[in-house]
Structure 1
């Protein structure tokens, strides 16, 4: 196929509500050296930024799963306009003129794949007109319609760009992991992380538990820890994925029932996450760790305590914008008509090229 290059903007908004991640990156394609259907890929994040949510949007998005269908439709229109403005400002601020495609995840409001439901707002066709660029977005819906979990979506990027690691671990609102197993990519959600930790850090006056300092100072409540670890989800086989509704149904009620201080909740839940993470890895494995939770040094320390693994935290650009970069790759794969959703990961009927393409 020779060499080919795309200049892309990858856009991601996670359940932890830190903000909207925008990454302008160059993605290169060249002929594959094996019999794979995929070319060889290179990637380089040129400029990236997280645009924090205003207080109003944080409040709206944190309770959006409770809205009626009509209210969600109205929110989708408003959020699409907000997201478009954020992307336009990112383009203008960084004087970006050479853009082949904008690839956006949107923001997940509902995710109940076992009931055939997933909704990422901000993916209406109008977004392409609003930003005046070609857009690939709404990557999850097709996979759910094909019997898949619609998540996680990042593992194809782990395979094609970061395949030299034994595991790729993302620590965001939720933790998810991907790995190669007998030549097949396997991935799944592990547990909630920042969607819970941030809530209790905010009760202590901070946006997040910086370095895990609160958790380190707290006391683990063993009865709560035992109940958390006994939750059925953790014993289920992959493919499996989590949504914010699940956290409200299964995590917060257990925590609220014991009436602990916020510091002790953070200590207990951090230990819970460390136990669930450590259980995924083979001893001595190399693990690429990205997402905001990669900065939680106490959490990583507790993982290492429970399993001897090499946790590799890369440079800040990759830690913070790996998901945005990979959504750029998902868009490129869609344009190239190559599978960007793997049946081995999501449980869909077969691999497929997911996402909607909207021209400006």
Structure 2
């Protein structure tokens, strides 16, 4: 790897918990003499998963050991060809690939976090050096291995000090002069997309169904009673917990999907407000919102309404930042690995030290 700070072009790959596809973002990172890093997004897009992959990724932990190994090999080949074809289609050569992969299991208290997608396969099939598996070192050192987005916020968006990411899971980051805190606050798009699928769509466009639904106090109260929401930070959510504990509450209470969508949007907004009030030493004046949920105008209106009551303004960036902030983060973590710079933040994850996160395979 590099012995000094140099510009590099990196392809970042991110498969989020919403299962909408593989986000690929090719970025050029340039270190400046003042120690900061600038970035340029050259091209970014989402490669949608075929229904078969969505089903397999959702149920992989139920596979036999033999079937799981075959699935992992097939998935590694699939995403390798995704990024290889992506680079060829757009005519962009990269110095490095950074792959987050797809999280199948996340139980940091048990020392477990599995992101599928073998960097050795990616490196071999693309011929490009590849870095992957960015969470396990932090977990081994006592951390949550999540959130890992704050390093990108700190280095790439220094003009902002507070962030909300509305992905499959909503997470919050608060940056101060002395420290950075960040945490998974509540299930987000995983819940909204689940209910939209019952109504026959992949997602609730602009929150139109949510607008027509009625707030269900019983559903909100049952969600509020879940132990995770009361946990102190650092904390992070597992997708399997959402599928096994959080989502079934909707069907157990026989809540209409439109009412569930309305309740979820309002509950997400309320929980974000509660957590910011609970964990922030000083309330931020403005907060940047990114992630797929940002396109849900009803959800954004709920969040804006809640945060305005405590004097916080929201800021919505350009679409490329909204949709590809996490893929950009993955690319940055690859760049930091190449430059021998730590990329995890102990005040965020709870680990006993920072790490130069990732595993490297030569292309």
1:9 to 8, 11, 15: 11
Between the aligned partners of 1:357 and 1:284, the Cα distance in structure 2 is 38
Question: Which position in structure 2 is the counterpart of 1:46?
Answer: 42
Cα distance in structure 2, aligned partners of 1:242 and 1:71: 26
Length-normalised TM-score, structure 1:
0.94
User: Secondary structure in 1 aligned to 2:7?
Assistant: strand
Aligned residue in 2 for 1:323: 326
1:279 maps to which of 274, 281, 284? 274
Q: What are the residue-to-residue correspondences of 1:47-62 with 2, within 5 Å?
A: 47-62=43-58
1:195-232 deviations in Å (ceiling 9; x for gaps): 11101101111110111111110001101111112211
CA RMSD, 1 decimal: 1.6
Question: In the alignment, what sits opposite 1:146?
Answer: 141
Q: Is 1:67 matched with 2:63?
A: yes
Secondary structure of the corresponding residue to residue 279 of structure 1: helix
Q: Is 1:20–1:50's contact at 8 Å kept on the other side of the alignment?
A: yes
1:190 equivalent in alignment to 2:185: yes
User: What does 1:199-278 correspond to in 2, within 5 Å?
Assistant: 199-278=194-273
Question: How far 1:252 sits from its partner (Å)?
Answer: 1.8
The Cα shift of 1:274 comes to: 1.1
**Contact kept in structure 2, 1:2 and 1:30, CA below 8 Å:** no
Which range is displaced more, 282-291 or 236-245?
A: 282-291
Aligned residue in 1 for 2:280: none
Q: In 2 relative to 1, CA 154–284 (structure 1 residues): closer, same or farther, beyond 3 Å?
A: closer
In the alignment, what sits opposite 1:94? 90
Of the candidates 11, 14, 20, which is equivalent to residue 22 of structure 2?
20
1:29 maps to which residue?
31
1:31 deviation in Å?
A: 2.7
**CA distance in 2: counterparts of 1:300 and 1:279, whole angstroms:** 16
Counterpart residue number, 1:129: 124
1: CA distance, partners of 2:266 / 2:298: 10
Give the SS at the match of 2:208.
helix
Q: Shift of residue 29 of structure 1?
A: 0.7
SS state at 1:280 partner: helix
Once residues 349 and 82 of structure 1 are traced to their aligned partners in structure 2, the CA distance between those partners, rounded to angstroms, is 36
The structural deviation recorded for 1:124 is 4.1
Quote the Cα distance in structure 1 between the aligned partners of 2:339 and 2:284: 37
Q: Which stretch of structure 1 is more off in the superposition, 243-252 or 276-285?
A: 276-285
Counterpart CA distance in 2 for 1:307 and 1:253 is 29
Q: What secondary structure, in the 3-state scheme, does the structure 1 residue paired with 2:12 have?
A: strand
Counterpart CA distance in 1 for 2:293 and 2:134 is 24
- Output one character per residue of 1:301-341: Cα deviation in whole Å (capped at 9) or x when no partner: 11122221221111111111111111111011111111111
SS in 1 for 2:184: strand
Give how far 1:272 is off: 1.2
Superposition deviation, residue 165 in structure 1: 1.5
Contact 2:162 2:284 in 1 (8 A): no
Mark the CA change 1:102 to 1:124 in structure 2 (over 3 Å): closer, same or farther. Answer: closer
Q: Which runs of 5+ in 2 are unaligned?
A: 278-282
Number of residue pairs aligned between Structure 1 and Structure 2: 353
Q: Do 1:120 and 1:138's aligned partners in 2 also have CA atoms closer than 8 Å?
A: yes
Deviates most, 344-353 or 57-66: 57-66
